[in-house]
Amino acid sequence: MTDTQESGQPIEVLLVEDDPGDVVMTQEAFKDYKIANNLNVVTNGEDAIAYLRREGPYADAVRPDLVLLDLNLPRRDGREVLREVKNDPALKSIPIVVLTTSDAEDDVLGSYNLHANAYVRKPVDFDQFVAAVRAVDDFFIRVVRLPSRP
């Protein structure tokens, strides 16, 4: 079974991650488990905001159905990205899953206070990491109904 919305179109996922190893692991998780979603990647918070607003080099970007957001990013950290997206009426309906190495209670609580839809701690082990990405995919793609793209 492939992952698609009710319209039959693949889900658009934006991964906001500056660690090349984590980007590769996420790409491998999508590939190995035949996740049919389109995975787009930006590596810093400023590019994430530009992508979401379709500005500059991202003018033709497709609005993501789901964002996987690391907290510790260059140029604008994940907390700032989360705050800005959830305060923007045009973007706030996009589900954001914080996917980070931090297990600090302040980060968990802070993310939920900024209206993250979920907080997932990134496992270090590849197989556990793949399982975590798969679980996020299963939940947000197969279980919940995502809003339609404008």
Domain contains 1: no
Q: Is residue 85 part of a domain?
A: yes
Q: Give me the domain span that covers residue 62.
A: 12-140
146: in domain: no
Question: Is residue 149 a part of any domain in this protein?
Answer: no
Q: What is the 3-state secondary structure (H, E, C) of the chain?
A: CCCECCCCCECEEEEECCCHHHHHHHHHHHHHCCCCCEEEEECCHHHHHHHHHCCHHHCCCCCCCEEEECCCCCCCCHHHHHHHHHCCCCCCCCCEEEEECCCCHHHHHHHHHCCCCEEEECCCCHHHHHHHHHHHHHHHHHHCCCCCCC
Is 65 inside any structural domain?
yes
Task: Note whether residue 128 is domain-resident.
Answer: yes
For residue 148, is it within any domain? no
**CATH assignment of the domain containing 45:** 3.40.50.2300
Q: Give the pLDDT of residue 93.
A: 93
pLDDT at 33: 65
Give me the pLDDT at residue 139, please.
82
Residue 1: predicted pLDDT: 34
Q: How many domains does the chain have?
A: 1
In a domain, 145, yes or no: no
Which of the residues in the chain have pLDDT under 70?
1-9, 32-36, 144-150
